[in-house]
């Protein structure tokens, strides 16, 4: 085209990014990508390689080592050998390595960007302007945490060897999200990138080598799912961090169940993008471009579900279509391209099939007239209207440049539609009304809520999901706890600490006799109810004599208790001050009945009066502690690098099932239930069997303490039976279990279906009288989850 | 909340081609509900130019387009007929002939869109540019602050038109925006439009003094309703002049006005655009948000005095491959 013709047409023309240096880099490695294990580039044990190619052009870029179990064993062994030395370095020494990595990433930023776009197919603009700068930012930010770990996270220590498995959609970015905090906290790493996209991970390993990172601290294990599976199964791996599909996440939850491996899962999503009628609609349209046409829609937190208020729906859809017509689809290495290639032909076929299904189910498909390259894996930007919540495409993740849209009438209907999903990763809210925005944000089940913006990320803010989008947070201070453990955990005991040592005195106790006639019941929804099954169990005193009967709760009682807890939303919504008042009132009422409770403790535990009194006093003190913390376990504002408030809001999980420690008497019940309700959770507790009568006595205290109905529900019975019901229940957000190793495994296995947050003891027992093991910040953290709400401001 | 966009049926407004915008009744419900989100606008503005790349021959063609869309401007207290003559010759021959020949575009008759001067220099400019097809634009209505009476403003406009200016760049009363007197602003601009007669009217919002982007959007609407042919950001004398965020807000208003009425209103960013690269970013913004129809001097102008020098250097670089120097290009 001549200059004159261009002057008339005003076309952009091509603007290809040079790939020369990237090609030289591949050539310098003989077009073979090898494992980096123990500081050395290693051939695969099997000798096998597979191809990695550029999805936009279909060219093979390199051959990738096909890792297997043997390679995995080598990598884990190298990491394990390096772990003590790395953990023993000072924070400052670790910080210097991370800082050096950050600097090098910046210095080689263009090579990283080109490799990423070549390998993954994403537009060079995105890898250059978004992915790679964020990678450097993550290493800088976490270099800082390494520096100050000792003072900022006192009492926390590294886990050891961490296995990290990352996806192909943001290869290097996901690597940095995982590697930087792990190394900062003193762990050593085995990173397994996705088989489609290993290139930038190899360059990262090269940089680790260049900065002189001690051998074995960072190990790169290449290969496909079999290498990943071997990593997950390896006994010396203390933690698995995974980003990927919910399907695989569930497999990992089951595979690691009961092993004591820490697990974070960052999984799929179907994130809502809510546009209210008073929004800046043109800006909302641009938000959608960032939401669903970013990285070809292959983004776990893509705003793929548009919810628009009916009054502006037609207008907004028209604007969206006009904007879609401007999107440029083409070679990822062209600087003027908005949408590159999807990652591979399989993914292309999946997207195609999903859209066809959407059409069959009544959705109206709209695609702009646009030029698609003839070769390569390209899919046009697509809008489906007339999609209903019942449509498959409103529920299932597509992982492509496909937006589905629905309408709503009122703010609350928008919230209901937004939360009508198995996922809970992210959400975007568009309104110019701050009252509305800040009302809606906390109500959305999403780990990240973006107000008048979307898909913004930073190392200083946690990222992660609710529900089947997984658990754990990456980024921010909250993300550090995923790579550390409280030092006191090492001091947990292999056997229960509270065997019944003291035999009770020989005095006949008239109160004990009197209590036989009292009918203990379940406590559900603030009412004392008989068990659905109509069976009872016999409670024994410390001598083994029957002293009373208590209900044998079962499946349906758990159902009723969870329903009651679900309804008791008011407790979660009320102010922290009010919750504190109620907890103090509970303590007050308990103190008023201390004589009765001391006797009951003596009766069931065989403790002497003095010891029983100590236990009760400790219980009262512990209630005070959590009453105190109710309004002091504050949220934070993260310092993210643009003009906004990033609110790291601590939220109650919702409904938590608690299986109280069998051996730990009244103290065990109080120590577990109180932090949960202090943070605003509603609880279904299965008390200790031996101490069931203390729980049933306790509901009378609860009844007189202004605790709203359904906040605490007590279902006595056989712990193992009830634990399974809790673990399988879909409407419970968290499950805490203190019992055997087998029970812990069972809980984690059964919880995989719902991805509920579990906290189990793996058969390691707390000293509940100990101020570290029995109470404190960890309990509060487990009772909450952090939602990051991004609020840009400026008029 | 009434949204401006609900007052029309999508896609049913006929396009009026290049007909002048006649304006419309004062209809505050068209803009009362408008809310502009500054952070989101800034985010779009920050990425818009990074999303597109214009290289090689395309860059050359786009830079030539920049020149043809330029109101080559001098608005200084020490302007003299001599200075304005020099500027007019530059407008006629903005790029060295040998460069244009070397680029193979000597026959394209590249000249700036207009020359923009104060009232006193209109005559000089008209004489110098006679028969060239280059318009003479004059700033008016108590430029730059506009703090004189309405009758004086109107007589200024008439006098400038009489003196031969075919484009009048008026300044709006910022006070009317800041006090929410939208009807007063409408009446004022409508009166200017009438006083302009056949001369085209560009309304300068002085965006840097309007406090919020929402005010910028509403003022844009009021000016268009009152019959503006162009809406323009700045006088060049405010502390903040043309920016991409202001531009985004204004061109989106133009886009909506076009969808609503079928009339195309022109856009002129002015002040602070001195680099060729920045100018290309503006063209990208116009192309992305309004479309190719606006990429011509009938609907798009840069108000600039030093931009041309950088464009010349870039064009020479396109030709020779060597970075150019200012002294190699004739002064305007």
Is the model's pLDDT at B11 over the cut of 80?
no
d(C-alpha B164, C-alpha B114), whole Å:
13
ipTM of the complex: 0.96
d(C-alpha A717, C-alpha A686), whole Å:
7
Is the model's pLDDT at A512 over the cut of 90?
no
Q: Is B321 on the interface with A (CB under 8 A)?
A: no
The pLDDT value recorded for residue A374 is: 87
Average confidence (pLDDT) over A299-303 = 96
d(C-alpha A137, C-alpha A141), whole Å:
6
CA–CA distance from B302 to each of B69, B227, B279, B308 (Å)?
A: 6, 20, 8, 10
pLDDT band at residue A505 using 50, 70 and 90 as cut-offs = very low
Q: Are A62 and A54 in contact (CB under 8 A)?
A: no
Q: Work out the mean pLDDT of chain A and round it to a whole number.
A: 95
What pLDDT digit, counting tens, does each position of A337-349 carry?
Answer: 999 999 889 999 9
Is the model's pLDDT at A513 over the cut of 90?
no
Prior bond to B144 cis, omega within 30? yes
Q: Are A353 and A346 in contact (CB under 8 A)?
A: no
Catalytic residue among A17, A116, A195, A266: A266
| Residue A130: closest CA among A333, A345, A295 | A295
pLDDT band at residue B215 using 50, 70 and 90 as cut-offs = very high
pLDDT band at residue A502 using 50, 70 and 90 as cut-offs = very low
Residue A266 known to be catalytic:
yes
pLDDT band at residue B136 using 50, 70 and 90 as cut-offs = very high
Q: Are B125 and B75 in contact (CB under 8 A)?
A: no
Q: How many CA atoms lie within 13 A of B262 on its CB side?
A: 10
* Window B:62-121, CB contacts with A under 8 Å: 62, 64-65, 103-105, 108
Q: Is B55 on the interface with A (CB under 8 A)?
A: yes
Query: Would you call A283 and B40 a contact, using CB atoms and an 8 Å cutoff?
Result: yes
The pLDDT value recorded for residue B1 is: 38
The pLDDT value recorded for residue A239 is: 98
Query: Would you call B5 and A795 a contact, using CB atoms and an 8 Å cutoff?
Result: no
Is the model's pLDDT at B8 over the cut of 80?
no
The pLDDT value recorded for residue A518 is: 75
Chain A residues with CB-CB distance to B295 below 8 A: 10
The pLDDT value recorded for residue A510 is: 43
The pLDDT value recorded for residue A582 is: 98
Domains of chain B, first to last: 36-328 (3.20.20.70)
Q: What is the 3-state secondary structure (H, E, C) of chain B?
A: CCCHHHHCCCCCCCCCCCCCCCCCCCCHHHCCCCCCCHHHHHHHHHHHCCCCCCCHHHHHHHHHHHHHCEEEECCCCCCCHHHHHHHHHHHHCCCCHHHHHHHCCHHHCCCCCEEEECHHHHHHHHHHHCCCCCEEEEEECCCCCCCCCHHHHHHHHHHHHHCCCCEEEEECCHHHHHCCCHHHHHHHHHHHHHHHCCCEEEEECCHHHCCCHHHHHHHHHHHHHCCCCEEECCCCCCCCCCCHHHHHHHHHHHHHHHHHHCCCCEEECECCCCCHHHHHHHHHHHHHHCCHHHCCCCCECEEECCHHHHHHHHHHHHHHCCCCCHHHCCCC
What pLDDT digit, counting tens, does each position of A344-368 carry?
Answer: 899 999 999 999 999 999 999 999 9
The pLDDT value recorded for residue A517 is: 64
The pLDDT value recorded for residue A58 is: 87
Query: Would you tell me how many other CB atoms lie within 10 Å of the CB of residue B118?
Result: 17
The pLDDT value recorded for residue A791 is: 98
Closest CA of chain B from A291, distance in Å: 13
Is the model's pLDDT at A511 over the cut of 50?
no
> Which of A11, A125, A643 is the closest to B39 by Cβ?
A643
Query: Would you call B35 and A432 a contact, using CB atoms and an 8 Å cutoff?
Result: yes
The pLDDT value recorded for residue B13 is: 76
Is the model's pLDDT at A503 over the cut of 90?
no
Q: Work out the mean pLDDT of chain B and round it to a whole number.
A: 95
| Residue A134: closest CA among A113, A119, A154, A114 | A113
Is the model's pLDDT at A653 over the cut of 60?
yes
Task: Give the whole-number percent of chain A exceeding pLDDT 70.
Answer: 98
Of A129-133, A395-399, A505-509, B145-149, minimum mean pLDDT range: A505-509
Query: Would you call B61 and A3 a contact, using CB atoms and an 8 Å cutoff?
Result: yes
| Residue B231: closest CA among B185, B276, B163, B195 | B185
d(C-alpha B87, C-alpha B94), whole Å:
9
pLDDT band at residue A231 using 50, 70 and 90 as cut-offs = very high
CA torsion angle B141 B146 B151 B152 (round to 10): -70
Is the model's pLDDT at A508 over the cut of 70?
no
d(C-alpha A652, C-alpha A572), whole Å:
7
**At how many degrees (to 10) do helices B276-289 and B307-320 cross?**
100
Q: Is B12 on the interface with A (CB under 8 A)?
A: no
CA torsion angle A388 A390 A391 A394 (round to 10): 70
The pLDDT value recorded for residue A598 is: 98
Q: Are B100 and B67 in contact (CB under 8 A)?
A: no
What pLDDT digit, counting tens, does each position of A475-501 carry?
Answer: 999 999 999 999 999 999 999 988 654
Q: Which residues contact B224 (CB under 8 A, 6 or more apart)?
A: B21, B23, B231, B253, B254, B257, B265
d(C-alpha A751, C-alpha A733), whole Å:
10
What pLDDT digit, counting tens, does each position of A198-229 carry?
Answer: 999 999 999 999 999 999 999 999 999 999 99
The pLDDT value recorded for residue B12 is: 59
Chain A residues with CB-CB distance to B213 below 8 A: 795
Average confidence (pLDDT) over A639-645 = 97
The pLDDT value recorded for residue A514 is: 47
Best mutation target among B40, B44, B250 (most A Cβ atoms within 10 Å) is B40
**Strand pairing category for A784-792 and A448-451:** parallel
Element of type H or E holding A313? helix A310-324
Chain A residues with CB-CB distance to B56 below 8 A: 13
Residue A138, SS3 per DSSP: helix
């Amino acid at each position: 085209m001549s200059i004159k013709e261009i002057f008339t047409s005003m076309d952009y023309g091509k603007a290809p990014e040079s790939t020369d240096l990237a090609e030289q880099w591949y050539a310098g490695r003989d077009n073979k990508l090898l494992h980096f294990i123990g500081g050395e580039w290693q051939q695969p044990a099997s000798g096998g390689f597979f191809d990695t190619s550029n999805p936009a052009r279909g060219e093979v870029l390199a051959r990738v080592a096909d890792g297997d179990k043997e390679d995995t064993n080598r990598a884990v062994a190298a990491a394990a050998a390096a772990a003590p030395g790395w953990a023993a370095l000072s924070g400052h020494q670790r910080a210097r390595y991370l800082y050096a990595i950050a600097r090098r990433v910046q210095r080689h930023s263009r090579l990283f960007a080109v490799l990423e776009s070549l390998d993954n197919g994403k537009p060079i603009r995105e890898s250059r302007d978004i992915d790679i700068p964020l990678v450097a930012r993550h290493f800088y930010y976490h270099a800082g945490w390494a520096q100050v770990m000792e003072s900022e996270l006192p009492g926390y220590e590294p886990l050891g060897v961490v296995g990290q498995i990352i996806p192909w959609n943001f290869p290097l970015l996901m690597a940095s999200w995982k590697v930087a905090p792990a190394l900062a906290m003193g762990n050593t790493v085995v990173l397994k990138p996705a088989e489609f996209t290993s290139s930038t991970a190899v360059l990262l390993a090269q940089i680790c080598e260049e900065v002189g990172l001690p051998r074995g601290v960072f190990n790169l294990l290449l290969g496909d799912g079999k290498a990943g599976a071997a990593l997950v199964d390896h006994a010396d791996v203390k933690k698995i961090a995974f980003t990927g599909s919910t399907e695989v996440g569930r497999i990992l939850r089951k595979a690691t169940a009961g092993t004591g491996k820490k697990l974070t899962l960052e999984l799929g999503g179907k994130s809502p993008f809510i546009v209210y009628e008073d929004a800046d609609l043109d800006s909302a349209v641009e938000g959608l471009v960032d939401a669903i046409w970013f990285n070809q829609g292959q983004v776990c937190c893509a705003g793929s579900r548009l919810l628009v208020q009916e009054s502006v729906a037609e207008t907004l859809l028209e604007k969206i279509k006009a904007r879609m017509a401007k999107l440029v689809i083409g070679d990822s290495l062209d600087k003027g391209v908005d949408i590159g290639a999807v990652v591979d032909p399989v993914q292309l076929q999946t997207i195609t099939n999903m859209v066809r299904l959407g059409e069959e189910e009544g959705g109206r498909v709209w695609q702009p007239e646009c030029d698609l390259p003839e070769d390569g894996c390209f899919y046009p930007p697509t809008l489906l209207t007339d999609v209903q919540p019942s449509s498959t495409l409103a529920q299932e993740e597509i992982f492509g440049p496909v937006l589905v849209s629905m309408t709503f009438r009122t703010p609350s209907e928008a919230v209901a539609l937004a939360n009508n999903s198995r996922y809970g990763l992210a959400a975007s809210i568009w309104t110019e009304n701050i009252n509305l925005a800040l009302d809606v944000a906390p109500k959305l089940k999403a780990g990240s809520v973006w107000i008048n913006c979307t898909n913004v990320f930073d190392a200083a803010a946690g990222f992660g999901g609710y529900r089947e989008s997984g658990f754990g947070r990456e980024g921010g201070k909250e993300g550090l706890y995923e790579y550390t453990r409280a030092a006191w955990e090492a001091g947990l005991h292999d056997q229960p600490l509270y065997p019944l040592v003291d035999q009770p005195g020989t005095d006949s106790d008239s109160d004990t006799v009197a209590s036989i006639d009292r009918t203990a019941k379940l406590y559900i929804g603030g009412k004392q109810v008989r068990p659905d099954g109509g069976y009872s169990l016999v409670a024994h005193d410390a001598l083994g004599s029957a002293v009373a009967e208590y209900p044998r709760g079962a499946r349906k009682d758990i159902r009723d208790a969870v329903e009651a807890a679900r309804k008791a939303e008011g407790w979660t919504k009320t102010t922290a001050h009010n919750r504190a008042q109620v907890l103090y009132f509970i303590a007050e009422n308990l103190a008023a009945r201390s004589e009765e409770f001391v006797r009951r403790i003596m009766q069931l535990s065989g403790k002497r009066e003095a010891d029983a009194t100590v236990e009760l006093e400790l219980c009262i003190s512990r209630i005070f502690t959590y009453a105190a913390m109710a309004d002091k376990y504050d949220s934070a504002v993260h310092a993210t690098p643009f003009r906004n408030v990033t609110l790291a809001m601590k939220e109650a999980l919702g409904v938590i099932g608690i299986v109280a420690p069998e051996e730990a008497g009244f103290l065990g019940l109080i120590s577990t239930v109180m932090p949960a309700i202090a943070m605003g959770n509603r609880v279904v507790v299965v008390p200790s069997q031996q101490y069931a009568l203390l729980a049933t006595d306790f509901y009378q205290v609860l009844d007189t303490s202004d605790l709203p109905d359904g906040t605490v529900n007590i279902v006595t019975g056989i712990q193992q039976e009830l634990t399974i019901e809790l673990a399988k229940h879909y409407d419970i957000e968290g499950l805490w279990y203190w019992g055997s190793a087998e029970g812990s495994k069972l809980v984690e296995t059964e919880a995989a279906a719902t991805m509920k947050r579990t906290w189990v003891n793996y058969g390691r027992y707390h000293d509940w009288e100990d101020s570290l093991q029995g109470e404190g910040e960890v309990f509060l953290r487990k009772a909450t989850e952090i939602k990051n709400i991004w609020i840009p401001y400026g008029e | 909340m009434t949204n401006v966009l609900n007052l029309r049926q999508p896609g049913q407004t006929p396009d009026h081609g290049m007909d002048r915008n006649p304006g419309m009744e004062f209809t505050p419900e068209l803009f009362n509900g408008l809310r502009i989100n500054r952070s989101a606008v800034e985010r779009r503005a920050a990425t818009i130019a990074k999303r597109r790349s214009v290289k090689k021959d395309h860059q050359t063609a786009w830079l030539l387009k920049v020149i043809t869309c330029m109101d080559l401007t001098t608005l200084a207290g020490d302007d003299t007929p001599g200075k304005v003559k020099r500027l007019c010759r530059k407008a006629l021959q903005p790029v060295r002939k040998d460069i244009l020949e070397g680029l193979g575009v000597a026959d394209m008759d590249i000249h700036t869109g207009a020359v923009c001067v104060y009232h006193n220099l209109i005559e000089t400019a008209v004489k110098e540019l006679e028969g060239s097809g280059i318009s003479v634009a004059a700033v008016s209505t108590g430029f730059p602050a506009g703090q004189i009476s309405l009758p004086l403003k109107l007589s200024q406009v008439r006098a400038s038109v009489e003196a031969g200016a075919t484009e009048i760049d008026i300044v709006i009363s910022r006070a009317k925006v800041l006090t929410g007197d939208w009807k007063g602003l409408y009446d004022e601009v409508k009166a200017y439009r009438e006083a302009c007669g056949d001369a085209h009217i560009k309304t300068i919002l002085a965006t840097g003094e309007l406090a919020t982007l929402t005010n910028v959007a509403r003022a844009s609407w009021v000016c268009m309703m009152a019959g503006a042919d162009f809406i323009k950001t700045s006088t060049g004398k405010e502390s903040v002049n043309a920016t991409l965020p202001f531009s985004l807000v204004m061109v989106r208003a133009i886009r909506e006005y076009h969808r609503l009425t079928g009339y195309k209103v022109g856009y002129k960013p002015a002040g602070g655009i001195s680099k060729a690269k920045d100018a290309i970013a503006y063209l990208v913004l116009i192309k992305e948000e309004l479309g190719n129809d606006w990429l011509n001097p009938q609907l798009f102008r840069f108000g600039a005095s030093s931009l041309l020098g950088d464009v010349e250097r870039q064009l020479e670089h396109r030709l020779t491959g060597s970075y150019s120097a200012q002294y190699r290009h004739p002064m305007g």
